[in-house]
Amino acid sequence: MTTGPGHSDDTYKRTKSQGALNWGCFSIKQRRLIGGYLVGCYVVEDFDGDRSGYEHWNYFAMCNHGNKSSGVDTRKDAIDQAKMSMDYCSTCASLFELHKK
Ligand SMILES: [Zn+2]
C-alpha cells in the first residue's frame, strides 16, 4: 500500500510504481474484499486520463479495471469509495462474490 499527499509528483511516482493506472493517484491499495485487487484514489486536477464528468469534484476512486467511482470532495470520501469498487465495477463485483465468506 502506498499513500501520500496529493498534488505531489513524488507521491504520484510512487503510486505508479505500485501499479496505479494513471498519474494523479495519491493512494493505491490491494483491497481485501476483492481478493487483493488494486484500487486507487485520484486527484481530479492531476489525473492524466479522461476527466469528463469529474471537473467539479476534487477526487474519485478507480479500480485497476479502469472503472471510476462517483466524484467526491474529500480524501476521506475517496478512500471510502476505494473500498466500494464492487458498487461501480462489475468485475470487482464478481471478485467480491468470489471472495466473500
Ligand atoms: Zn474493478
CA–centroid distance, residue 16 to ligand 1 (Å): 17
Is-above-0.85 flag for pTM? yes
Q: Identify the CA nearest to 46 among candidates 57, 35, 37.
A: 57
What confidence category does residue 1 fall into, taking pLDDT thresholds of 50, 70 and 90?
A: confident
CA–centroid distance, residue 101 to ligand 1 (Å): 19
User: Do the beta carbons of residue 75 and residue 59 sit within 8 Å?
Assistant: yes
**Measured distance CA(15)–CA(98) in Å, rounded:** 27
Contacts of 89 (CB under 8 A, 6+ apart): 63, 65, 67
CA–centroid distance, residue 15 to ligand 1 (Å): 17
Question: Tens digit of pLDDT for each residue in 27-70?
Answer: 999 999 999 999 999 999 999 999 999 999 999 999 999 999 99
CA–centroid distance, residue 89 to ligand 1 (Å): 5
Higher pLDDT: 84 or 101? It is 84
* Cα angle: 87, vertex 29, 21; to 5 degrees: 80
